[in-house]
Amino acid sequence: MEGKRRVVITGMGTVNPVGNTVEETWKGIREGVCGIDFITGYDTSDRKVKVAGEVKNLVLEDHIDKRELRKMDRFVALAEIAAEEAVKDAGISFEGEEDEFGVIVSSGIGGLPTIESEHVKGMEKGFDRVSPYFIPSIISNMAPGRIAIRYGLKGMCNCVVTACAGGSNAVGDAFRHIRDGYATGMICGGTESSITPFAIGGFTSLQALSQSADPNRASIPFDKERNGFVMGEGAGILLLEELEHAKKRGAKIYGEIVGYGANCDAYHITAPSADGSGAAKCMQIALKDAGVEANQVDYINAHGTSTPMNDKCETLAIKAAFGEYAKELYVSSTKGNTGHLLGAAGAVESIIAVKALQDGFIPATINYQVPDENCDLNVVPNKGIEKDIEYAMSNSLGFGGHNASLLFKKYSE
């Protein structure tokens, strides 16, 4: 680690099925709130999947001008709203340092709602009549692009597209960019809004989604009765900053990011490697990157999607990475609260991991009823734990074999 700069989190923002701010979200996580309910965005009467994690009680027009909203897909709007909270939370002015700050925000799918609606328009009126804003509405990089434009940030602006690992990759890549001296700070995270007939239909055909009619028994990570993930939507944005810069301006510091692992299973387009070896190696890379021993980690916010394969393989991966110590680790999945936010998942879960360190609270895996012998770690069933912790890891695993692990540390001088 010699010669590498320390990187801290000085601002956070989120909209997700549990809350429309970090404060609301963390309160919901502490209280075990389930943000999953019946889909309201379209008629599901003839559809197999009827539940999702929708963002609730959010009026986009309260945050973004109506004229601008017509030029962007919902996933971009959610990212802008979360970024607005993170920047305000950080209390930062970029004036005079615009070249020193950049943006990395992931989206796994991009503007699918707009693709669907404009395709219908094209079929009805002719494809030369689709909106002139169609393309700049749907492309995944427009979330970081618009955030950069809004704040005048001229450093590296990038969009990581690694399916469900994207949010974590964005945070990790931003961390490295600052640590290695390429930037003073970065706005980073992920955003997704794909609760649409087309997306839900595609994942249903893939047999990836839960078809449970009970919202409280749909996203049930590590439970033996789990039968698929639940689609969620939202955004998570963090402002990362070089430590000395943050201290000089008197910023409040939520926590420190100290390690990042990223690799690929190189195994299958949707399934993780059966023995969990890729994810295990990824966690070990993050530990080595941080110079931290396995037994120093107190808590893992697992990918924990609630699919039969993922939770079993991730359990094997944690055992392989942490050995005997895996029995002592607290491992929970907050996807029971939020559902699976795809490219935004790792970013929202990074915020949760940082709050766990700051607040001394380990979130529960909610709605857990039936233990699974194949998922026999301490999954913190149903009730969170008040406990002072120093290191928290967050895992994200994506279609295509993408793995990302982030290691956060409770801040101390």
Domain boundary among 248, 278, 313: 248
For residue 164, indicate whether it is catalytic.
yes
pTM score, two decimals? 0.97
Are 153 and 102 in contact by the 8 Å Cβ rule? The answer is yes
The catalytic residue among 303, 313, 375, 402 is 303
Q: What is the mean pLDDT of residues 24-30?
A: 98
Q: Are residues 92 and 226 in the same domain?
A: yes
What is the distance between the alpha carbons of residues 386 and 128, in angstroms, rounded to a whole number? 59
The catalytic residue among 177, 245, 340, 402 is 340
In whole numbers, what is the pLDDT of the chain averaged over residues? 97
pLDDT digit string, tens, across residues 273-295: 999 999 999 999 999 999 999 99
What is the distance between the alpha carbons of residues 349 and 335, in angstroms, rounded to a whole number? 9
| Domain membership of residue 313 as a residue range | 260-409
Q: What integer pLDDT is reported at residue 413 of this predicted model?
A: 83
Quick one: tokens of 277? 């070896």
Q: What integer pLDDT is reported at residue 352 of this predicted model?
A: 98
Domain count, the chain: 2
Q: Are residues 289 and 393 in the same domain?
A: yes
Domain boundary among 248, 274, 293: 248
62 pairs with which residues across the strands? none
Q: Is the pLDDT of residue 1 over 50?
A: no
Q: Are residues 356 and 401 in the same domain?
A: yes
48 within some domain: yes
The catalytic residue among 34, 157, 164, 282 is 164
Domain boundary among 248, 281, 308: 248
DSSP 296: G
Q: Is the pLDDT of residue 102 over 50?
A: yes
Are 314 and 321 in contact by the 8 Å Cβ rule? The answer is no
pLDDT digit string, tens, across residues 113-145: 999 999 999 999 999 999 999 999 999 999 999
Quick one: tokens of 329? 């680790």
367 within some domain: yes
pLDDT digit string, tens, across residues 224-236: 999 999 999 999 9
What is the distance between the alpha carbons of residues 194 and 380, in angstroms, rounded to a whole number? 29
Distance of CA 44 to the CA centre of its chain: 26
